[in-house]
Structure 1
Amino acid sequence: MQLRNSPARYGLVSVILHWGVALTVFGMFGLGIWMVDLGYYDAWRKAGPDLHKSIGLVLLAVMLLRMVWRFVSPPPPPTPNQGPRTRLAAKAGHLFLYVVLFVVMIAGYLISTADGVGIPVFGLFDVPALVSGLPNQADVAGDIHLYLAWTLVIFAGLHGLAALKHHFIDRDATLVRMLGRKAKP
């Protein structure tokens, strides 16, 4: 499999970024849901949120890389059977997923830096608190983080269902291409 995208399929870099981000988003959602029920004396009370923050900041860096990669190696064009409305829905859906994911990550950063302290990343280095002390920063950012995280996983699930619809009902190469395989003629 080639590294870059071609008109026929996604390249290895795009495939790894896509599926890696997808798995990370769902894993982070599960970790976030699990964390809120940890008791005061639970051994994971501090480690769970620290892990969540570290993974979130790495995910932010990966998403910035992914945005650069989209310009370096543009995605393949839509399959020929997709009409104008389907193409518009796909573009709008992808844009929505990107925007919501970035807002979720920024809100997570704002929750964590509300007290003016940087965020340690796996104990290796700290990301500084560039924004802190806004009125109700942690509470407002927390609400945004919570509700948009739910929105993100719901729409990511719908995105997956749309890919399955393309594969099993439309019988086009949309899903096959994101698996890194070449579309069959």
Structure 2
Amino acid sequence: MWRNSTSGWGLVSILLHWLSALALVGLFVLGWWMTGLDYYDGWYNLAPWWHRSVGMLLLAATLARLAWRLPQPAPALPGPRRERLAAHLGHVALYALMLLVPISGYLISTAEGDGISVFGWFTVPALVSDLPNQASLAGTVHWYGALAMMGLAAGHALAALKHHSRDRHDTLVRMLHPRHARRGGTPPP
């Protein structure tokens, strides 16, 4: 139930998937909203603190997700070859953006040499700082990377809904319930 199988996702993969999805959407909405705050707004300093803290935790979760995913089997993708290829390329692009966006956010936040406090629990040190135009260039990458990630995530969700409702594949169900990770995809007795 915890591990993936060739017929379904395990509980660890399912939880990491949905927690990542929730965090990604939440961070995008928070990031968009906080760019409109003025200096006198009470959230002017608090919103970026939350954004950076959750962003660093999401980066750690993404690295853990990749470390978990690589040695595990992946359920077979249904559908024609070109759809399976598109799904594979989409997943690779999503993972790349899930690394690029928080790393570029890290580079924005550490541009002046300060580390990132993660909810006051620990500080991620500034390993790279004082590069020419670091905050500006990283900010551009962060913004456009986040937009691309939201576009890909929307396409990912629409494809899952299409496979579920039109094609009648169990793609979406496998990401909702670990019982499909058992051999043959049959529920436990």
| TM-score (norm. length: structure 2) | 0.92
CA–CA separation in structure 2 for the residues paired with 1:127 and 1:51: 14
Deviations 1:108-131 (A, max 9, x none): 000000001111110111111000
CA–CA separation in structure 2 for the residues paired with 1:126 and 1:176: 38
CA–CA separation in structure 2 for the residues paired with 1:78 and 1:147: 29
* 1:162 aligned residue (156, 159, 175): 159
Structure 1 residue ranges, 4+ long, deviating more than 3 angstroms after superposition:
none
CA–CA separation in structure 1 for the residues paired with 2:122 and 2:11: 30
* 1:135 aligned residue (132, 135, 138): 132
CA–CA separation in structure 2 for the residues paired with 1:58 and 1:74: 25
CA–CA separation in structure 1 for the residues paired with 2:159 and 2:96: 19
State the secondary structure of the residue aligned to 1:145. helix
CA–CA separation in structure 1 for the residues paired with 2:132 and 2:84: 41
Deviations 1:81-100 (A, max 9, x none): x2221111111000011111
CA–CA separation in structure 2 for the residues paired with 1:138 and 1:150: 18
Q: Percent of counterpart pairs with the same letter?
A: 52
| Paired residue total | 181
Partner residue in 1 for 2:66: 67
CA–CA separation in structure 2 for the residues paired with 1:124 and 1:179: 32
**Structure 2 counterpart of 1:133, which letter?**
D
State the secondary structure of the residue aligned to 1:139. helix
Q: Which runs of 5+ in 1 are unaligned?
A: none
State the superposition RMSD in angstroms. Answer: 1.2
State the secondary structure of the residue aligned to 1:170. coil
State the secondary structure of the residue aligned to 2:120. coil
Shift of 1:148: 1.0
Q: Which runs of 5+ in 2 are unaligned?
A: none
Shift of 1:107: 0.5
Q: How does 1:21-100 map to 2 (within 5 A)?
A: 21-79=20-78, 82-100=79-97
State the secondary structure of the residue aligned to 2:123. strand
Shift of 1:101: 1.6
